[in-house]
Structure 1
Amino acid sequence: LLFQPCGWFGAGRYEVDGYVYSAAEEPKIMITGKWNQSMSCQPCDQEGDPLPGTELKEIWRVAPTPPNDKYQYTHFAHKINSFDTAPKKLLASDSRLRPDRYALEKGDMSKSGSEKSRLEEQQRAEKRTREAKGEQFTPRWFNRTDEIAPTPWGELEVYEYNGKYTEHRAAIDSSSVADDDTDVTSIEFNPWQYSSSSSQ
């Protein structure tokens, strides 16, 4: 697909064109549209021109903006950040519980900023405590591998899922805790390794 450059006065803005090719690298389907509105396709000849007797068929259209959306999030983004989709007995480290994120969702920019600063300071305090104890951070749900991956930000350690959260979730769902009517929004955000860090 070719994302067209924007010309003078917005000409060509958002436009996308391209083809679906066969194994023989011959164009078979023309694709055109605007990436922020809709995309359509149409069978084409080897020159890339529409076949006679065919019409453009819309294959994708952007979903309507979710109601009360402030930040142009998609329905998917709203869903994964919603308490409505949260499992029972939500982990205290779940990002849905972050006070800065929750304040931002409510449109309170000032509180969101101050909460973000507070969390970052707690994170720094946690690191100082860990270094003073000579301990390493050990994720609960992931294991560090011996692999180092090159990235645009330098070489990074690679972690793999250890399956423990699946076991934890299964234990919760099969117990009476899963039927607990506790309001998940009342759970305090607590991703800290040391309880003393959360109060600093």
Structure 2
Amino acid sequence: MGRRFFGRSPDSNFDLIREEFGRVAYTHKTHEKAREQCSRKASISQWVNVVLNALTFGGVLTSLQSANQAFLYVTLGFATVTAGYTLYQLSFNPRQEAIEHREAAKSLLKIRDSYVHLLADVMGNALSTSEIRRQREQLSAQTQEVYRSAPDTSYKAYRSAQKALKEQEDLTFSDDEIDKFLPRNLRKNVCRHNWP
């Protein structure tokens, strides 16, 4: 069986798993924040496109009904800006990037939860040292595979993730919060009284 950790110096496997868990947790949250940012960009981009097209169409209708040449030049300006913006949009696709960040975040969430279960098994001495090492290496390989295919994240997304994890405590729940999600017979205070 695995070694006991309480009252002894930390095991190198345990420390390594904790560190890898921390990296995965940060990267998962960073991809979530990147997805939010890309979705916001896609939404703004869509509305800008709608407004520019509406202004161009309105300008065309006004130009057709008016003899004033100024309306024609204004419409030409809107059409040029609209065409330029459309070409600019072809160079990036925030909606597709948001989908890629969401897929990376989902994959990392599964890996993050597996690290939590592995840590619980290590703390509970449920695994041998070789089994701990095997599972750790397997999770590390899965993580590297996700990293290889995941889109790059920005510093802004990382800072948002850092704030969410450190200040807003996105990954933590109090006992009372968890108890509210559970049926009464599985709540911590009830279970404590029922344990021998």
- The structure that is helix-richer by fraction is 2
Greater percentage in strand: 1
Q: Which has the higher contact order (CA 8 A, sep 6+)?
A: 2
TM-score (norm 1): 0.25
